[in-house]
Copies of this chain bind each other. A is one copy, B any other.
Amino acid sequence: MTDAVRTVFEGQARHAWSIDQLHEVVCGALGAADYSSVFRAVTVMEREGAIRRIDLGDGKAYYEVGEDHHEHVRCDSCGRVAEVPGCVLDDATSGVQKSTGYVVTSHQLVFGGLCPRCAKRRSR
What is A's interface to B at a CB cutoff of 8 Å? 55, 57, 59, 71, 73, 75-76, 82-86, 88-89, 92-93, 95-97, 99-116, 119
In the assembled complex, the CB of A102 is this many whole angstroms from the nearest CB of chain B, namely 4
What are 16 A-B interface contacts by the 8 Å CB criterion? A55-B55, A71-B96, A88-B89, A88-B95, A88-B96, A93-B111, A102-B113, A104-B111, A104-B112, A105-B113, A106-B113, A107-B110, A107-B112, A108-B109, A108-B110, A108-B111
Chain B residues contacting A88 (CB-CB under 8 Å) are: 89, 92, 95-96
* Identical subunits present: 2
Asked if A108 contacts B73 (CB within 8 A), the reply is no
Chain B residues contacting A85 (CB-CB under 8 Å) are: 99
From B55, B95, B103, B113, give the contact of A104 (CB < 8 A): B113
